[in-house]
Amino acid sequence: PKSSEPDSLHHLPVHPLWQSPLTIPGGTRQSPINIQWRDSVYDPFLKPLKISYDPATCLHIWNNGYSFLVEFDDSTDRSIIDGGPLENQYRLKQFHFHWGAINDWGSEHTVDCKFYPAELHLVHWNAVVYPTFEEAVMEGDGLAVIGVFLKLGARHEGLQTLVDALPAVKHKDTVIEFDVFDPSCLMPSCPDYWTYAGSLTTPPLTESVTWIIKKQPIEVDEDQLEAFRMLLFTSDGEEEKRMVDNFRPLQPLMNRTVRSSFQ
């Protein structure tokens, strides 16, 4: 592939990573998308997003062979989000990242066609309406995912505690205990966000996500991005494949409007 664009592997009709077509037949609200700032519509009825996480609900970090996930105890309402575009409160289940092999790309969403080097997804589910996460994944209002862009800049001290643990989950299906972490330290200071109706970005690609994309990126430094890139897609003993470019190609906007919480 030309070095100026994401690996052409991502433009194949079926990417080996997913063994399935990139868009599900009849999919009308697939993710990720390009957010064209001037086409987003300010909605004065959007509320501020309320975030209250209990750092003690943090459980472990694991490498699932596609990203690394930090998982939380979601058996109670101790770590939740509310407000914003949401009609219920949603429980934090996990967060993970998507990133590129180089800093020119890596995010899943783009803003005015600009990629960021990485994107954080904080995954929450509607435990008010659905009995389990697995059921919520199948419902239009089942999930709420906060997307935060990462840009190259100053070292992020809060992220560093996570980066220091990554060598212990280098290989697919490795896990380590990680028992205190407050993901609110990864939130940008600016409250502004875009929101739209979308989907998971890996199989089962279900159209169950209310996306809340923060306008302001957080800054991380080169060493911290490089730490993501030393993770492996492969298990211990297999031929090593670096975990990079684990983002889905952009999907058609179809009949959707992206709303903004700001003017």
- Interface residues with Zn ion (CB under 5 A) are 121
Q: Which is nearer to Zn ion, 27 or 56 (CB)?
A: 27
DSSP assignment letter at 9: G
Q: How far is the CB of 21 from ligand 9AA (least distance, A)?
A: 15
Q: Tell me: does residue 251 bind ligand 9AA (CB under 6 A).
A: no
Characterize 103-132 residue by residue with b for buried, 16 or more Cβ atoms within 10 angstroms of its Cβ, and e for exposed.
bebbbbbbbeeebbbbbbbbbbbbbeebee
Spatial CA neighbour of 30 closest among 21, 38, 39, 17:
21
Burial of 221 (0-12, 13-18, 19+ CB in 10 A): middle
Q: Tell me: does residue 202 bind ligand 9AA (CB under 6 A).
A: yes
Residue indicated by tokens 């519509």: 41
Q: Which is nearer to ligand 9AA, 49 or 123 (CB)?
A: 123
Q: How far is the CB of 22 from Zn ion (least distance, A)?
A: 15
Q: Which is nearer to Zn ion, 46 or 146 (CB)?
A: 146
Q: Give the number of residues in contact with ligand 9AA, rule: CB under 6 A.
A: 10
Q: How far is the CB of 38 from ligand 9AA (least distance, A)?
A: 26
CA dist 28 and 103 (Å) reads 30
Q: How far is the CB of 60 from ligand 9AA (least distance, A)?
A: 16
Q: How far is the CB of 2 from ligand 9AA (least distance, A)?
A: 26
Pick what 88 binds: ligand 9AA, Zn ion, none; C-beta below 5 to 8 Å, kind-dependent. none
- Determine phi and psi for 225, rounding to 5 degrees: -65, -40
Taking the CB of residue 240, how many other CB atoms lie within 10 A of it?
13
How far, CA to CA in Å, does 227 sit from each of 30, 51, 255? 30, 28, 39
Spatial CA neighbour of 85 closest among 124, 45, 52:
45
Q: Tell me: does residue 145 bind ligand 9AA (CB under 6 A).
A: yes
Q: How far is the CB of 121 from ligand 9AA (least distance, A)?
A: 4
Q: Tell me: does residue 200 bind ligand 9AA (CB under 6 A).
A: yes
DSSP assignment letter at 175: E
- Touching ligand 9AA, residues 79-138 (CB under 6 A): 121, 123, 137
Could you tell me which stretch among 11-19, 48-56, 72-80, 198-206 binds ligand 9AA (CB under 6 A)?
Answer: 198-206
Pick what 218 binds: Zn ion, ligand 9AA, none; C-beta below 5 to 8 Å, kind-dependent. none
Q: Three-class SS of residue 134?
A: helix
By the criterion CB under 6 A, which residues form the site for ligand 9AA?
A: 121, 123, 137, 143, 145, 200-202, 204, 209
